[in-house]
């Protein structure tokens, strides 16, 4: 079980780095928005695994709130892109 948890942490950490690379190099604004959304989903995953590891259920509420807020941020960004905000490609 411990090995599985550490393995999941490692995989999520690697995907976080890859996401961050996409966030930095872009190249277009929608790419960056998707990278941010994915980053927050990875954070939700990390919180979930940490809740498993520490046997503390209240971390799951944190995951719920982070997921809700990131969903909202994505909707806001999508609206902004739809309206044709300043494109920094």
Q: Which residues bind other proteins (CB under 8 A)?
A: 58, 61-62, 64-65, 68-69, 72, 75-76, 79, 82-83
Secondary structure (DSSP) of 17-51: HHHHHHHHH--SHHHHHHHHHHHHHHHHHHHHHHH
**Which lies closer to other proteins via its Cβ, residue 55 or residue 82?**
82
| In the complex, least distance from residue 28 CB atom to other proteins, rounded to whole angstroms | 21
Which of residues 21 and 69 has its CB atom nearest to other proteins in the complex? Answer: 69
State the distance between the two ends of the chain, measured CA to CA, in whole angstroms: 45
């Amino acid at each position: 079980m411990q090995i599985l948890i550490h393995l999941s942490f490692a995989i999520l950490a690697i995907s976080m780095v890859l996401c961050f690379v996409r966030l930095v190099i872009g190249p277009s604004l929608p790419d960056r928005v998707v990278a941010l959304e994915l980053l927050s989903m990875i954070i939700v995953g990390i919180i979930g695994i940490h809740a498993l590891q520490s046997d503390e259920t209240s971390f799951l509420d944190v995951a719920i709130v982070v997921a809700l807020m990131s969903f909202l941020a994505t909707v806001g960004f999508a609206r902004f892109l739809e309206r044709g905000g300043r494109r920094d490609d």
